[in-house]
Amino acid sequence: MVRPQFSQLDEAGRLRHFLTTEGLCRETLTDILDTAESFAAVGKRAVKKVPLLRGKTVVNLFFEPSTRTLTTFELAAKRLSADVMNINLRRSATVKGESLLDTLRTLEAMHCDMFVVRHASSGAAHFIARNVAPHISVMNGGDGRHAHPSQALIDVFTLRRHKPDFSKLRVAIVGDIAHSRVARSQINTLLTLGVREVRIVAPRTLLPPVPEALGAKVCLSLEEGLRDVDAVMMLRIQHERIQGPLLPSIHEYFQCYGLTEKKLAVARPDAIVMHPGPLNRGVEIDSEVADGPRSVILQQVSHGIAIRMAVMSMILGRRNGVEEPG
C-alpha cells in the first residue's frame, strides 16, 4: 500500500488537493459531507447550475477506462459552471512518446485550474500533485490499489443519510479487499468519522498480507461478518488487478461470499446494502438484493455528483472569493 507523505492542505488548513482521506481530520471530512448536502438538490432544479466556478477550467485526465466516475466528475464541474476538458489519453501525445510531465506542462500552459486524475499506478495522483504548477489543484479519481477518496465519501454520505449516528454503527465491507482502492478509502473514512466497528469479509486470498493493519475486524466467514451489522458494502472482484488464480471458481465464490436475501437475514432488519459499482450480478451480489428494498446502490450514483461538487467548490470556489451555498 502506498502512503505518500504529501500535504493536501494549504497554509490556512484548507483543501488544496484531494488525493486520499488519510491524514484528513473528522472536521474536514464532515465539512465535505455537509457541503454536499447543499448541492444534493441542484440536480432537481430546472436549471441545474450554480455559478461558483465560473471562469475555472477542470481537466479530466483518465489513464484508465471509466464511465460512471468520469461522467459524474464532468457533471459536477459543469454544474458548478466550470469549463471542462476530457483528455482522450488513448489519442494523446503520451501514446506517441511524450512524457507525463511534458503533457502536464502543456496543459498548464492552457491556464487550467484543476486536474482530475485516474490512473492504474498507485501514487500517480500524488506524483502529479507534487509536479504541477502551484496554481493547479489535483483530485484523485482512483489510483491503482491505493485510494479512491471521493467514492468513499459518496458511500459515507449515502450511509449518513440513512443512519446519521455513526457511533452506533457496525459496517461490513465484503469482497476483494486486497485489490480494492475503494475499500482502503472506505475503511479509513469510516473509522475517522467514528463508526463503532468496521468489518472486512473475504477469503484469505482476497485479503492484504496484514489485513489487521487496515484497522478493521477481519472475518473469513460471511455469516460472521454480516451478523448484526447496520450496513453492508459489497465489492466486485478486481480481475484486472489480479495476477494468477486466487479463487477456485466464480460459482464457488458466490456460494460462499455472494450476497443473497437468505445470507442477509443475519444482519439487522433495517440494514442497508451498498455497492460502489460496477456490480456483477451473480458474482458478489444477487439481483434480488441489488434491486431490493434494502439496496441504496442507485442513491450512491446520484450522490456522486453532489460529493464531487462539494470537493471542487471547497478547493476552487474559495479562490474565487465565494463560498458554497448554505
- Residue 8 counted as domain residue: no
pLDDT of residue 15: 95
- Cell 468520469 belongs to 70
CA separation for the pair 138, 71 (Å, rounded): 17
Residues 156 and 294 in one domain: yes
Residues 279 and 316 in one domain: no
Q: Residues 84-94: pLDDT tens digits?
A: 999 876 555 45
CA separation for the pair 40, 299 (Å, rounded): 11
Q: Residues 105-137: pLDDT tens digits?
A: 888 999 999 999 998 888 889 999 999 999 999
CA separation for the pair 297, 152 (Å, rounded): 13
Domain span at residue 81 reads 26-147+302-320
CATH code of the domain covering residue 195:
3.40.50.1370
| Domain count of the fold of the chain | 2
Residues 58 and 100 in one domain: yes
- Residue 16 counted as domain residue: no
- Residue 243 counted as domain residue: yes
Query: In this structure, are residues 128 and 115 in contact, taking their beta carbons and an 8 Å threshold?
Result: yes
Residues 282 and 189 in one domain: yes
Average model confidence (pLDDT) for the chain? 89
Residues 220 and 122 in one domain: no
Residues 65 and 163 in one domain: no
Residues 106 and 165 in one domain: no
Residues 104 and 142 in one domain: yes
Residues 122 and 165 in one domain: no
pLDDT of residue 277: 87
Query: In this structure, are residues 315 and 137 in contact, taking their beta carbons and an 8 Å threshold?
Result: yes
